Structure 1
Amino acid sequence: MTTTTSRTVHRAASVDAVPQAARALTGLGLAVLLVAYLPVNMTFGSVNVLAPAITADLGAATSGGQLVLSAYTTTFAATLVVAGRLGDRYGRRRLLAVGLGGFAALSAAAALAPSLVVLVALRAALGIAAGLFTPQVLSTIQATAPGRLRALGVTLFTAVSGCATIVGQVLAGAVSGLAGDHLCWRLVQVATGAIAVLALTALRAVPESRSTAPLALDLRGAGLLGASLLLVVVPLTLGSSAGWPPVLVTMLVAGCALLGTFVRSQRAAERRGELPVVPPSVLRTPAVRQGLVMTLLFFTGYGAFLYEMSSFAQRGLGADAWGTVVLLLGFGAGFVATALALPLVERRAGRWTMTGAATAQALVLAALAGVVGTGHGGTALVVQPLLVTLGAAQALMYGPVLRTVLSRTPTWAAGVAGGLFTTLQQLGLGLGVALLGGLFQSVSGRAAAGTATGVARGFAVAVVVQAGLALAFAALATRIARADREA
């Protein structure tokens, strides 16, 4: 049955290899697509910086800020697994319009949220809207752009993905300097929605396209995955601060049980010759399976670090939102500069690039924990060199792990693997904030020392755990490198 599925999808992929569009993508159309993609990660980066302002304005506990972040990334991840197929079936530009319109409207509504509950619900809906249009951006580039523009488009798409978080942080810092806690995060929500409106008004420059042989939607599988992720992430986010009441424990158990049902449904669908949202046959390739685990490890640590660093800067170092952005600019600069130099580095380090980078990340994180935890992190200047190095190490992990997943995937499942990578990216961001962010807040809250010292201790403990994630990443990267050497 797996062979049947592979043949069916391979025929579909072959048919759709020729761009199915009335006209080709132009440079202007590519610019519109990149602008459309910009607010996706901007909203995550900005809320990371503004989480304290949100909780202060709405009178919520610190875990409320974590929930605002996790609600967005979790529903985003759950929607991605089926949104690409919706675009293939009903038209990619149409899904872009629906998603961008929803994103703009929900951003405006979130800016007016009167309470944390309303804001979390709107942020969850915002994640669904972002998940609807995000896959259409890259799919449209691949399906409608001429060869040279297609290569440029993919390169710029990757660059925008990395820079958008930093742009969101800079926007948050700039706005916070002009408005108080009540207005700053609301104005940033309006700004990200305005970018979506800008892209929506120029969408005519983007050609419509769809697949001539669209894959089955597997709405049941997508629904099971989305529900199980929500049932797992919400209690993990709130559990430690709420003292694990029975309702949260029940949600977590139900979510784990539903994940088991999801796995069984995917196996059964593939045995019937269908293509489920997460095909088990794709995961049987060792390098793909290991690469996806590495993706989850990487983004769990990445999402947690941005959250913890922002909180530590404001509560531990006494920085305002703009001071937090300035502190993180070194991290962002190290990431972007190294990403641009990645081909040169890989030519020298070869297959051991990811192993070396992950090991370096673990060492830098351990050094950060030591500096901050022992009370020597009193100024931004002390930690800045470590942050720049950390950004560089992460760039050397991000690009190669994406290439590992995509290059080892069978041709017929290339789109599926890309969707899985993006899904695990967003899920990792949410889990990082929920799990390691929760650990950070828990240790900070229990510390008997002063507030600043307690925050520093919580940061150090969480960062040590992230160093462990980096070492696990390095171990998997080493296995892949050795398999390549023996091949």
Structure 2
Amino acid sequence: MVCPGFVSLAVALIIVDSTIVNVAIPSIVKDLSVTSTQVQWVQESYTLVFAALLLVFGNLADRFGRRRLLVLGVAVFALSSLLAAFSPSGDLLIGSRVIQGIGGAMVLPTTLSIINATFQGKERAMAFAVWGSTIGGMTAVGPLLGGWLTTAYSWRWAFGINIPLGILITVGALFTVTESKDPGASRVDWVGAALSVVVSATLVFGLIEGRNYGWWTVQKPMEIGRWTWSIDLSPVPFAFALMLVAGIGFIFWGRARSRRGAGSMLDFSLFSIRSFRNGNIAAMIVSLGEFGIVLSLPIWLQNVLGYSALQTGLILVALAAGSFLASGFAGAFGNKVEPVVIVRVGIVAEIAGIFGLGVVIGTSTGWGILIPFLFVYGFGVGLATAQLTGVVLKDVPPAKSGQASGTQSTARQIGSALGIAVLGTILFTTASVQLDNSLRDTQMTDAGRGQLVTAVVESSGAAIAGLQAQPGTGAAAAAAKEAFSNGTKYSAFAAAGFLIAGLAATLSLGGPRRLPAAGADSVPAMVGSEAEGQDKA
């Protein structure tokens, strides 16, 4: 007997942590004096490790037991949250987030694998609905809880809350989740695992650090301890080149192992399943637009509009409330409407919501006009998230659940990481360029202007309050608000563009098909040559 509630709550632990961190970022900036690049790495260090290890732990779950890895992952996540809560500096906080990413990578693919391997037919649709609804509900709790803890106590409590949640999930999983594994699972492909980590790490590093170190020539030397990058060419193109080489190596290595009959980190035969192949492409593109904007909105709300962390959390509840409502809606109609149709409706709602936000964002925007667009955006996320996951995994053989879930989760997390990196770069680059241009007409010296721009951008806008409090820098504060507002606006428009591309990608998933007759107990997954034959048709 498997209770999907505790399985879903384990995923919710990850979602709560992410939304809490988003709201707490401005307070972390002020308390630890972290730079804008470190702000991105507080998010990206977690997402990067998370994405890089999903394939590994998806394989390990099939081999050593899904419940076992789930419980271990929750324990690692909770203990690393404790380390994050006591971090005295930005670097140590980033290090704690790396460990959190390891724990999160154990949790996510195992939850999907448990659901995919255990439920079929109507029960399967309901299990995915519970999974999605739990995410939506905890997403609603995250910003409000994070805002309250950050405002009333400290951002450190935003991490500490994971401890009691972790204990609850561990006890619940041990009593309600039956252990399952694949007896025929092959040995872990450690070479493939290492290559996948290199691909993910170098890609995200290049996207985040391009504006910092330079996209081609060195803009600022990279320093690691006492070692300094000493050549004129930026490390960023080297990172992209290494990513390309590692990616090619990963593909050739995996295919060579598959031809020998040895297990590979990525089972390339799964991509012969049309719904799995095309669904992963769509999921990655959609994730680019879905989650990248969550970095810039809390920064803009607090440092430009002047809201507290609690007020920001209350505003973002509109997004989460829409997600919660939509998850229940998707569960109710999951057996009546083709899932891919629900996915497309959700993406359209996301586009409308995020584009609307981009239109209304400005230095004097009131919170009331944000609520409807956030709600519509959240409604779209709730419709698309769980249903797209179900579409991707619907034809995967149960024995391949762990690896398929890890692949699907990796696609989404890489998309999320790229979204945060790209949209974060748009935000900070736009703010820097526009603020510098606005101050050129003033009497400030070039050196003074450069120092002010650096102070504002590196503090993620937290320095605006100090500029506004001094009579002599009021104009600079107004220019900084305008620059950060435009950066947030362009990030929203870019997110809408990614979502439009994601909507186009879902067209490859096909259209409505005739559903099973009422009363059917299950929809058997197509496996082996039958699935491959239909895919090739």
* TM norm structure 1: 0.84
* % identical aligned pairs: 25
| Residue 28 of structure 2: aligned partner | 54
Larger mean CA deviation between 476-485 and 47-56 belongs to 476-485
CA contact (8 A) 2:87 2:93 kept: yes
| Cα-to-partner distance string for 1:141-196 (whole Å, 9 max, x where unaligned) | 566789998775543223223333333222211101212xxxx2211111113321
Distance between the aligned counterparts of 2:287 and 2:160, measured in 1?
27
| Residue 309 of structure 1: aligned partner | 297
Q: CA deviation at 1:47?
A: 1.0
Give the structure with higher Rg (CA).
Answer: 2
Is 2:368 the counterpart of 1:420? no
Q: CA deviation at 1:225?
A: 0.5
SS of residue in 2 equivalent to 1:447: helix
Count of aligned pairs: 455
Of residues 224, 230, 244, the one that matches 2:195 is: 224
Q: CA deviation at 1:301?
A: 1.2
Is 2:486 the counterpart of 1:457? yes
Is 2:410 the counterpart of 1:439? no
Distance between the aligned counterparts of 1:62 and 1:294, measured in 2?
30
Q: CA deviation at 1:132?
A: 1.9
CA contact (8 A) 1:43 1:189 kept: yes
| Residue 367 of structure 1: aligned partner | 356
| Structure-to-structure mapping, 1:148-227, within 5 angstroms | 153-179=127-153, 184-200=154-170, 204-205=174-175, 206-227=177-198
Distance between the aligned counterparts of 1:239 and 1:428, measured in 2?
18
Long gaps (5+) in structure 1: 1-23
Letter in 1 for 2:377: L
Q: CA deviation at 1:282?
A: 2.2
Distance between the aligned counterparts of 1:224 and 1:85, measured in 2?
15
| Structure-to-structure mapping, 1:77-156, within 5 angstroms | 77-140=51-114, 153-156=127-130
SS of residue in 2 equivalent to 1:177: helix
Q: CA deviation at 1:295?
A: 0.6
Q: CA deviation at 1:405?
A: 1.3
SS of residue in 1 equivalent to 2:46: helix
| Cα-to-partner distance string for 1:75-96 (whole Å, 9 max, x where unaligned) | 1122221213323322334323
Distance between the aligned counterparts of 2:128 and 2:382, measured in 1?
17
CA contact (8 A) 1:67 1:234 kept: no
Distance between the aligned counterparts of 2:391 and 2:127, measured in 1?
20
Long gaps (5+) in structure 2: 219-233, 439-478, 515-533
* Cα gap change, 1:392 to 1:226, in 2 (>3 Å): same
Letter in 2 for 1:170: L
SS of residue in 1 equivalent to 2:184: coil
SS of residue in 1 equivalent to 2:185: coil
| Cα-to-partner distance string for 1:418-467 (whole Å, 9 max, x where unaligned) | 22221222222222111112211211222235222111101111111112
Query: RMSD value over aligned CA atoms?
Result: 3.1
* Cα gap change, 1:291 to 1:92, in 2 (>3 Å): closer
| Residue 388 of structure 1: aligned partner | 375
Distance between the aligned counterparts of 2:160 and 2:339, measured in 1?
44
Distance between the aligned counterparts of 1:99 and 1:217, measured in 2?
18
Distance between the aligned counterparts of 2:30 and 2:14, measured in 1?
25
Of residues 265, 277, 287, the one that matches 1:299 is: 287
Distance between the aligned counterparts of 1:264 and 1:113, measured in 2?
41
Q: CA deviation at 1:408?
A: 4.5
Distance between the aligned counterparts of 2:124 and 2:334, measured in 1?
24
Larger mean CA deviation between 79-88 and 39-48 belongs to 79-88
| Residue 507 of structure 2: aligned partner | 478
Q: Which of the two has greater helix per residue?
A: 1
* TM norm structure 2: 0.76
Is 2:391 the counterpart of 1:404? yes
